[in-house]
């Protein structure tokens, strides 16, 4: 839905849907097919309280094995793995982000797209999916060499990705695009899932809340004696940074202005709705030519993509 222009430089639009219509996970998981593709998943699949096959989503081993099966069965990515303690992402929501970017670029059948994935993490999930779903060329960056080493290991086991995916280390934790986008390069779009907590303590509190909700959904009591490990894992660079999501967004937006001639669209997930208004205000101040807010919904969870451009020719 497109609204009237905010000013001569900017136009804002908002879209709200469930999982993207192109998302193969719209109809849930076919556990029989997934187990056939990856037999190791079988031990984690049990009837839930409704009598349907499922896994314990509070169990990080079960979640990782499900991801391995999904990536192998649907996307042909084999031997995907992450080091212990690193972020294990839910695949359907990650796939949605990729499809909405394709919509943004009007690039459903365009394999010549160049995508920049900021903060790819040890899972490398966005770049891997973009390569496999749309055949795009991807550059993935991170400040953690261990994360990049792991993504390189995944790529080495999927030889078709070697010509599609480039990895770059961000040597300066205070920068986003500087040191990554090189002279003479051009990207159609950048994407990012920023660290949304401001500290380890905040991340642990958020995780405790998630564990409590999972327990309530299963009608179980939360075991408070367990170590409050993050159920999907996550290192500092993946889940928290000084100043949290809003500070990260400010840095990204300010640097995006500098690289406006080398990237057509900049995008980022926004996990906290309160961060949207100040982010848009900063973009207005920097005279972004267009802003789009895209709402993604998975179950009861709503995530927003903020997209902006400084180019007058979209």
Helix, strand and coil percent figures for the chain, each rounded to 5: 40, 20, 40
Tell how far CA 183 is from the center of its chain: 26
Residue 145 burial class via C-beta count within 10 angstroms: exposed 0-12, middle 13-18, buried 19 and up: exposed
Give the domain range for residue 247. Answer: 12-26+85-309
Going through the chain in order, the beta strands assigned E by DSSP cover: 12-16, 46-47, 53-54, 114-118, 137-142, 165-169, 187-192, 263-270, 290-298, 301-309
| 236 phi, psi to nearest 5 deg | -55, -50
Tokens (6 digits) for 210: 């998630």
CA distance 12 to 292: 5
pLDDT at residue 241, as a whole number: 52
Is the model more confident about 110 or about 222?
110
- Whether 281 maps to a domain, the answer reads yes
- Whether 90 maps to a domain, the answer reads yes
CA distance 245 to 285: 19
- The rounded mean pLDDT for the chain is 84
For the cut 50, the answer to whether the pLDDT of residue 7 exceeds it is no
Question: Could you give the number of structural domains in the chain?
Answer: 1
Tokens (6 digits) for 186: 């051009």
Residue 219, classed as helix, strand or coil, is: coil
| 177 phi, psi to nearest 5 deg | -95, -35
Domain of 283: which CATH number? 3.40.50.150
Residue with tokens 């995780």: 207
Q: How many angstroms separate the most distant Cα atoms in the chain?
A: 58
CA distance 303 to 89: 14
For the cut 70, the answer to whether the pLDDT of residue 83 exceeds it is yes
Ramachandran quadrant class, 141 (left: phi over 0; alpha: psi -120 to 50; beta: rest):
beta
pLDDT at residue 203, as a whole number: 45
pLDDT at residue 201, as a whole number: 52
- Rounded to the nearest 5 degrees, what angle is found at the Cα of 128, between the Cα atoms of 113 and 87? 130
- Whether 20 maps to a domain, the answer reads yes
Tell how far CA 125 is from the center of its chain: 7
For the cut 70, the answer to whether the pLDDT of residue 161 exceeds it is yes
Note the pTM of the prediction, 2 decimals: 0.83
- Whether 252 maps to a domain, the answer reads yes
- Whether 40 maps to a domain, the answer reads no
pLDDT at residue 10, as a whole number: 42
pLDDT at residue 164, as a whole number: 97
pLDDT in tens, 89-122: 999 999 999 999 999 999 766 779 999 999 999 9
Neighbours of 295 (CB within 10 A): 13
Tokens (6 digits) for 275: 């961060």
pLDDT at residue 11, as a whole number: 44
pLDDT at residue 226, as a whole number: 43
Q: Which of 271, 295, 265 is nearest to 283 (CA)?
A: 265
- Whether 62 maps to a domain, the answer reads no
Ramachandran quadrant class, 119 (left: phi over 0; alpha: psi -120 to 50; beta: rest):
left
Predicted confidence band of residue 87 (pLDDT cuts 50, 70, 90)? confident
- Whether 43 maps to a domain, the answer reads no
Lowest mean pLDDT among 168-177, 182-191, 193-202: 193-202
- Whether 31 maps to a domain, the answer reads no
Predicted confidence band of residue 232 (pLDDT cuts 50, 70, 90)? very low
Neighbours of 173 (CB within 10 A): 11
């Amino acid at each position: 839905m497109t609204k009237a222009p905010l000013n001569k430089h900017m136009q804002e639009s908002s879209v709200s849907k469930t999982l993207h219509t192109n998302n193969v996970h719209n109809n849930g998981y076919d556990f029989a097919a997934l187990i056939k593709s990856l037999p190791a998943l079988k031990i984690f699949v049990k009837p839930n309280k409704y009598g349907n096959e499922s896994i314990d989503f509070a169990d990080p081993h079960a979640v990782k094995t499900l991801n391995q099966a999904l990536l192998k069965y649907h996307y042909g990515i084999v031997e995907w793995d992450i080091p212990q303690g690193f972020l294990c992402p839910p695949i359907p929501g990650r796939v949605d982000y990729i499809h909405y970017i394709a919509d943004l670029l009007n690039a459903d059948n365009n394999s010549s797209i160049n995508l920049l994935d900021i903060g790819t993490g040890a899972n490398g999930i966005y770049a891997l999916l973009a390569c496999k779903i749309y055949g795009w060329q991807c550059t993935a960056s991170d400040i953690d060499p261990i994360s990049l080493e792991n993504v390189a290991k995944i790529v080495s086991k999927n030889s078709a990705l070697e010509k599609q995916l480039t990895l770059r280390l961000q040597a300066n934790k205070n920068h986003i695009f500087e040191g990554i986008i090189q002279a003479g390069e051009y990207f159609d779009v950048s994407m990012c899932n920023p660290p949304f907590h401001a500290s380890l303590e905040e991340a642990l509190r958020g995780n405790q809340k998630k564990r409590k909700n999972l327990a309530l959904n299963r009608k179980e009591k939360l075991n408070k004696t367990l170590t409050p490990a993050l159920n999907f894992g996550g290192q500092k660079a993946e889940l928290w940074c000084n100043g949290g999501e809003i500070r990260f967004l400010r840095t990204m937006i300010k640097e995006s202005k500098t690289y406006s001639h080398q990237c057509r669209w900049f995008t980022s997930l926004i996990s906290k709705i309160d961060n949207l208004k100040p982010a848009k205000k900063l973009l207005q101040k920097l005279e972004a030519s267009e802003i789009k807010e895209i709402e993604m919904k998975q179950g009861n969870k709503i995530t927003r993509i903020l997209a902006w451009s400084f180019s007058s020719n979209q």
